[in-house]
Structure 1
Amino acid sequence: MNIEDQMLERLEQVLDPEVGVNIVDLGLVYDVKVDEAGKATVEMTLTIPECPLADQIVEDVKTAAKETPGVKDVDVRLVWEPKWTPAKMNDKAREEIRARHAMAP
């Protein structure tokens, strides 16, 4: 498994706190790269630009990415194009959201 795939696995630990689903399954992570010096770049978006928890999510991404062996530094780039839509979620995220709504009173 390459270092980018390992980092994506770590990023699956980061939840969007308002949705309760990880950012990878939600389709918020657009790209991850790691150069030879161990500098990682994560290009991602949020469900809405005015997300009140944006700073916390970015910090959680940095922390999780740095846990990847070989990653020494992380730059998180928030982008707004392409715009996130629910169509970017994978089937796992859709199932988690359906299950949460089914359990809600």
Structure 2
Amino acid sequence: MDAEQKELKDKVVAAIKTVFDPEIPVDVYELGLIYEINFFPVNNVHVLMTLTSPSCPAAEEIPGDVEKAVKQVEGINDVQVELTFDPPFTQDMMSEAAKLELGFL
């Protein structure tokens, strides 16, 4: 990954960090819901993510919010968000900051 791609990825991550699960006061990136961020030619982005549960009440909102946030990043051409439940989400996927915020540390 060259410096330009790294800078773009940092901007994409920052955009994703503006998306929160409405029931949890931690952004979806720190929660560990983002499994992969891949870039393809002409700055197309593919985000592979999960939710805290398949029955999450915000299941329809969160992936759309992630897509909208990433599309706002200057230089991004197109965004595809793919939802998966394999592997299923566990608390081990959370960052230290998320665990601290939620009182798990």
Shorter-normalised TM range: 0.7 to 0.9
What does residue range 70-89 of structure 1 map to in structure 2 within 5 Å?
Answer: 70-89=75-94
Q: Tell whether 2:15 aligns with 1:24.
A: no
Secondary structure of the residue aligned to 1:30 is: strand
Normalising by structure 2, what TM-score? Answer: 0.87
Offset, 1:3: 1.7
Greater Cα offset, 30-39 or 78-87:
30-39
Contact 1:34-1:71 within 8 A present in 2 as well: no
Offset, 1:54: 1.1
Percent sequence identity over aligned pairs: 34
What does residue range 26-105 of structure 1 map to in structure 2 within 5 Å?
Answer: 26-98=31-103
Deviating 4+ runs (over 4 angstroms)? none
Quick one: distance in 2 between partners of 1:64 and 1:6? Answer: 10
Normalising by structure 1, what TM-score? Answer: 0.87
Superposed CA RMSD: 1.4
Secondary structure of the residue aligned to 1:65 is: helix
Q: Name stretches of at least 5 consecutive residues in structure 2 with no aligned partner.
A: 1-5
Q: Deviations over 1:23-45 (max 9, x none)?
A: 01000000111212221100000
Contact 1:28-1:45 within 8 A present in 2 as well: yes
